[in-house]
Structure 1
């Protein structure tokens, strides 16, 4: 295994259909970069929690933000181990038998320990999150005030271990079932940006900002 892959052990090894497991950083980063919402799991007071939240990636670090009073922040700022998951559903796989129906998907599970981002690095961490979701938007808006930054806590999660799991392709039926006159195939699923809706409270007519145009152009080229 090269240094461009994550160490594999019992914690991150894909056990169910292991041929679908990937541990190289390029694959892991690709799945993370195509998403914007993750689910963070942790244990607090012997109670498991799963929290959906926005994130941003810079290298091997993930960033999150939240109100200083939130359960997520209060517990993760103590440096507890967390598990993070991101999943994309790319298609419904319809087989000839009920048992072999499936989905095409790309998923990543990350393990690591979160730590608080320093006051001096808060703006940079927020920019990472903003650029992850809408590249270029940070330069178009009013930046956070000191009061807003004080009310916000940023967390940094260095990826210690990770694994990706990917399924693609058509249904895999039992050999005798291929002779059945039952439709089988894949129904692709795609997340699509819709035309922007202008805020009614704009003080004047304005053109769509470059950040939004770039997102729409990227989608059109895909």
Structure 2
């Protein structure tokens, strides 16, 4: 497993001790996420949108409408920044200045390319399997029109950084703070609620196993 290169884009400057440079740490952050925030500069203004993501080997896939100016600009070569964050807790220190958050995050810089027609359906299946595992087998196949209306983009993981401050402490010995003030950590996690059946669904239709597997997977990711 290769190390992540340290460049002017990927070197962490604040809290550098929390930077992880092993590629496995990057994969762990991306594989444990369902979405990220994708940013691009459009007409001299920053634009950031949430996107569903799935890692495919050493790249990240995301998709959008072929009619979207945002995604067309990216496909035309506009530099992008993708940020993925797992918020794991709130760190309550004995002062507001030292209070913080516990998290793991990845930032990926680069230029994305549109996936070609021959690979697009497989790429969409990859996204579907990551976001809704097993769902593809439950529903009808995608139509040619639906595939044509969807743009899939691939962002290489050549310029990426990972920051993981899970080991940071809420307090340190000898800091002079009042020990009668409570300090500690409020853990946070993502959970899936009970499935809600659409009202148009035929009465008595069971919730498919793929939905239950997705809920269990999200629960497992939320405790990572």
The alignment's TM-score, normalised by the length of structure 1, stands at 0.91
How far, CA to CA, are the matches of 1:165 and 1:89 in structure 2?
A: 12
- 2:142 match: 144
How far, CA to CA, are the matches of 1:156 and 1:90 in structure 2?
A: 28
Deviates more, 1:160-169 or 1:25-34: 160-169
How far, CA to CA, are the matches of 1:143 and 1:177 in structure 2?
A: 64
- 1:215 match: 214
Aligned length: 220
| Aligned residues of 2:94 and 2:178 also touching (Cα < 8 A) | no
Stretches of structure 2 that go unaligned for 5 or more consecutive residues are: none
**Per-residue deviation, residues 136-167 of structure 1 (Å, max 9, x unmatched):** 11222112111111211111111111111011
How far, CA to CA, are the matches of 1:164 and 1:52 in structure 2?
A: 19
- 2:185 match: 186
**Per-residue deviation, residues 30-88 of structure 1 (Å, max 9, x unmatched):** 11111111111122333222121111111111111111121221101102221110011
- 2:2 match: 4
The alignment's TM-score, normalised by the length of structure 2, stands at 0.91
| Aligned residues of 2:171 and 2:183 also touching (Cα < 8 A) | no
How far, CA to CA, are the matches of 1:176 and 1:107 in structure 2?
A: 28
**Per-residue deviation, residues 170-193 of structure 1 (Å, max 9, x unmatched):** 313573434431001100111111
| Aligned residues of 1:42 and 1:80 also touching (Cα < 8 A) | yes
- 2:14 match: 16
How far, CA to CA, are the matches of 2:211 and 2:186 in structure 1?
A: 29
Matches within 5 A, 1:128-167: 128-167=126-165
**Per-residue deviation, residues 70-118 of structure 1 (Å, max 9, x unmatched):** 1221101102221110011100100111110011001000112111111
| Aligned residues of 1:66 and 1:73 also touching (Cα < 8 A) | yes
- 2:59 match: 61
Q: Secondary structure at the match of 1:103?
A: strand
Are residues 1:126 and 2:124 paired? yes
How far, CA to CA, are the matches of 1:213 and 1:37 in structure 2?
A: 20
- 1:43 match: 41
Q: Secondary structure at the match of 1:49?
A: strand
How far, CA to CA, are the matches of 1:204 and 1:146 in structure 2?
A: 31
Matches within 5 A, 1:93-112: 93-112=91-110
How far, CA to CA, are the matches of 1:145 and 1:209 in structure 2?
A: 22
